[in-house]
Copies of this chain bind each other. A is one copy, B any other.
Amino acid sequence: MHNFSFHNPTKLIMGKGTIAELSKEIPIDKKVMITFGGGSVKKNGVYDQVKTALARHNTVEFWGIEPNPAIETLRKAIELGKKEKVDFLLAVGGGSVIDGTKLISAGLLYEGDPWELVEIGSSTNTVPLATVLTLPATGSEMNNGAVISRRETKEKYGFYSKHPVFSILDPEVTFSLPPHQIACGLADTFVHILEQYLAKAGESRVMDRWAEGLLRTVVEIAPLIKENQQDYQLMADFMMTATMALNGFISMGVTEDWSTHMIGHELTALCGLTHGHTLAIVMPGTMHVLRKQKEAKILQFGERIFGVVTGTHDMRIDETIRKTEAFFRSLGLTTRLSEENIGTDIIDEIEHRFNERDAHYGEDGLVTGAVAKEILLQVL
Contact = CB atoms under 8 A, between A and B. Distances in A.
Contacts of A357: none
A173 to B, nearest CB: 14
Interface string A39-53: 000000000000000
Interface string A88-107: 00000000000000000000
A206 B244 CA distance: 9
A8 interface: yes
Interface in A240-278: 240-241, 244, 249, 252-253
Interface string A189-210: 0000000000000101110011
B209 A236 contact: no
A84 interface: no
Contacts of A14: 1, 3-6, 252-253
A17 B3 CA distance: 9
A240 B15 contact: no
Contacts of A7: 9-12, 166
A309 interface: no
Contacts of A4: 12-15
Contacts of A334: none
20 contacts: A1-B233, A1-B236, A1-B237, A1-B240, A3-B18, A4-B12, A4-B13, A5-B13, A6-B11, A7-B9, A14-B252, A202-B233, A204-B240, A205-B237, A206-B213, A206-B214, A206-B237, A210-B210, A240-B253, A249-B249
Given A1-B15, A12-B252, A240-B1, A209 B216 contact: yes
Contacts of A18: 3
A6 B14 CA distance: 8
The 4 closest A-B pairs by CB, nearest first: A3-B15, A209-B213, A7-B11, A1-B236
Contacts of A240: 1, 204, 206, 252-253
A217 interface: yes
Given A1-B15, A205-B237, A213-B213, 17 more contacts: A1-B233, A1-B236, A4-B13, A5-B13, A6-B11, A7-B9, A7-B166, A205-B217, A205-B221, A206-B241, A209-B209, A209-B210, A209-B212, A209-B217, A210-B210, A210-B213, A240-B252
A61 interface: no
Given A209-B217, A210-B213, A237-B206, A11 B5 contact: yes
A12 B1 contact: no
